[in-house]
Amino acid sequence: MNTWSRKRLLAAGAAGAMLAGSAVLASPAAAEPGDSADVSVTVDIEEIKEPGVLALSIAADSVALAEDGSTLLVRQFVGTLPTVTVTDTRTADEVPADAAWAVLGSATDFVGSAGQAPIGAGHLGWKPALLDGGDTGLVAEGEEVVTVLDEATQPGNNVGLVDQELLVSTFDSGAVAGGAYSVNADLFLRTPADVAAGEYTSTLTLSLFE
């Protein structure tokens, strides 16, 4: 190969090397200022489930007794206990195993507004009546409690509302969970015929137990 041809080959090789070098060193295309991209963020929030409760409510906070059915020996004053409702918003799974609930009532002595001698709570009796016991048949009213002036109508029930007496109950809370049950009671105050005239007041306390 002559000198001129060798120079041409070397020049071509150098040019090729320069082109190859230019290809390796080329810089990437730059993003345009102001470009943006979005990311969607989602969350699924479940409703808070409050646990159910067992609760007692009474339709009114007072009742006035009126004289009716008095005899020569005994004066009688009667009225109706405001409707008592037991509401259970629990599910059966929220109720403790073997649980049972009951509403019990007891009264204080009747105190005279003008200093009369008090009338003992044993003179106040009641006869519960179930208004709505649901469909299970597992909610029932309590037995009648008569006064200390009466002959017993059930063994030992002529004591009046001195101690906690049963108004309504169930023996299986889980089976009746999720319902509402209502009851009232006939109230009767029986006193001796010579009871002092005047206004008297007693407090009847109803308590829900489970």
* pLDDT at residue number 3: 45
Answer whether 183's CB lies under 8 Å from 170's CB: no
The mean pLDDT value of the chain amounts to 89
pLDDT at position 22 over 60: no
pTM of the shown model: 0.78
Mean pLDDT on 113-139: 97
> For residue 159, what are the CA distances in angstroms to 107, 152, 163, 204?
12, 9, 8, 15
Count other C-beta atoms under 10 Å from residue 78's C-beta. Answer: 14
Mean pLDDT on 20-25: 44
* pLDDT at residue number 58: 98
Which pLDDT tens digit goes with each residue over 60-74? 999 999 999 999 999
**Euclidean distance between CA atoms 127 and 58, whole angstroms:** 17
* pLDDT at residue number 186: 98
**Euclidean distance between CA atoms 80 and 65, whole angstroms:** 8
Which pLDDT tens digit goes with each residue over 31-87? 577 788 899 999 999 988 889 999 999 999 999 999 999 999 999 999 999 999 999
**Euclidean distance between CA atoms 182 and 106, whole angstroms:** 18
**Euclidean distance between CA atoms 138 and 172, whole angstroms:** 7
Band of the pLDDT at 183, cuts 50, 70, 90? very high
Answer whether 77's CB lies under 8 Å from 197's CB: no
**Euclidean distance between CA atoms 14 and 52, whole angstroms:** 89
Contacts of 183 (CB under 8 A, 6+ apart): 83, 84, 103, 128, 129, 130, 131, 141, 167, 168
